[in-house]
Amino acid sequence: MLETIKGKTLVISGATRGIGKAILYRFAENGANIAFTYNKNEEEAQKIITDVEAKFNIKAKAYPLNVLEPETYKDLFLKIDEDFSRVDFFISNAIIYGKSVVGGFAPFMRLKPKGLNNIYTATVLAFVVGAQEAAKRMQKVGGGSIISLSSTGNLVYMPNYAGHGNSKNAVETMVKYAAMELGEFNIRVNAVSGGPIDTDALKAFPDYEQIKAAVQEQSPLNRMGDPKDIAGACLFLCDNNSSAWLTGQTIVIDGGTSFK
Ligand SMILES: NC(=O)c1ccc[n+]([C@@H]2O[C@H](COP(=O)([O-])OP(=O)(O)OC[C@H]3O[C@@H](n4cnc5c(N)ncnc54)[C@H](OP(=O)(O)O)[C@@H]3O)[C@@H](O)[C@H]2O)c1
């Protein structure tokens, strides 16, 4: 258990599955209290609460959130204020899929403004409003750590990924600006960028099996990424004993694939 994490509060979006869920468990096992969001899977959210509260003796609460409506973060944080006495860490993780990415998750010639705008809203605007609300609370406790998830689809070509790759570039730039302006409050802001990680989001790609085979072949570690690989980097970025002078950066966790 990390003393720098124990008793602190993590707010994380989209923690019912995949990477978000792995991050939630990594922080809970280190003694953090957790405020997390779900979109459709309320039942799974309740199961997670029961499990982590019993296993790790921490407090966990789940709240509905739609990242296509970033302004709703304001009310969400007011609810979090009622349930938790402090906010120390914020991780913008949730990602949209399905109907809302039509025209955004597509080959270049089929891209449409609405789909692209939805991805930008969910990735960049949700990060901005969530991080603003989190930073106000972090200032009251002397600092904190803010993280946006990103993806190496902005470094290497992935079919259909122009909309996401472009918005991940944008959020990495937003992270740098936030880092410059929040440093005076001892708030660090970074991005964690993953190569292909085996989650539902990736399984939704039509070429999932090809991506998996290619990643296994490209990575010197001969495997795809696991959500736990990303969770470790997030814990590191919130642990002041490990990363106190690290801000405005993107940590790339790609199993070595981007260099091949
Ligand atoms: N998988 C990869 O290969 C990979 C690689 C690099 C970076 N990333 C990034 O890592 C993050 C998590 O991805 P993942 O693969 O773990 O995704 P995932 O397994 O598909 O989980 C998505 C999460 O987002 C929530 N969500 C879905 N629609 C939402 C909405 N409209 N508003 C709010 N929340 C919503 C889901 O909640 P419900 O379950 O309640 O629907 C779920 O908790 C994303 O930012 C992604 O870009 C992923």
Give the model confidence (pLDDT) of 104-125 as tens digits: 999 999 999 999 999 999 999 9
Taking phi first (over 0 means left), then psi (-120 to 50 degrees means alpha), and beta for anything else, what does residue 26 get? alpha
The whole-model pTM stands at 0.98
Name the residue with the closest Cα to ligand 1, atom 2.
Answer: 197
Indicate the DSSP class of residue 125.
Answer: I
Nearest-atom number in ligand 1 for the CA of 96 is 28
Q: What mean pLDDT, rounded, does the chain reach?
A: 97
Give me ligand 1 centre to Cα 95, in Å.
4
Taking phi first (over 0 means left), then psi (-120 to 50 degrees means alpha), and beta for anything else, what does residue 9 get? beta
With a 6 Å cutoff on the Cβ, whether 68 touches ligand 1 is yes
With a 6 Å cutoff on the Cβ, whether 197 touches ligand 1 is yes
Give me ligand 1 centre to Cα 93, in Å.
6
Catalytic amino acids? 161, 168
Distance CA 196, CA 168 (A): 14
Question: Which residue of 39, 208, 234 sits with most ligand 1 atoms within 8 Å of its CB, as the best mutation to test the pocket?
Answer: 39
Query: Per the structure block, which two tokens stand in for 89?
Result: 């860490």
With a 6 Å cutoff on the Cβ, whether 154 touches ligand 1 is no
Distance CA 117, CA 101 (A): 9
CB 19 within 8 A of CB 227: yes
Query: Per the structure block, which two tokens stand in for 60?
Result: 């966990």
User: Please, what are the averages of pLDDT over each run of 10 residues along the chain (260 residues)?
Assistant: 96 98 98 98 98 98 98 98 98 96 97 98 98 98 98 95 98 98 98 95 86 92 96 98 98 94
Query: Per the structure block, which two tokens stand in for 109?
Result: 């010639």
Distance CA 202, CA 194 (A): 12
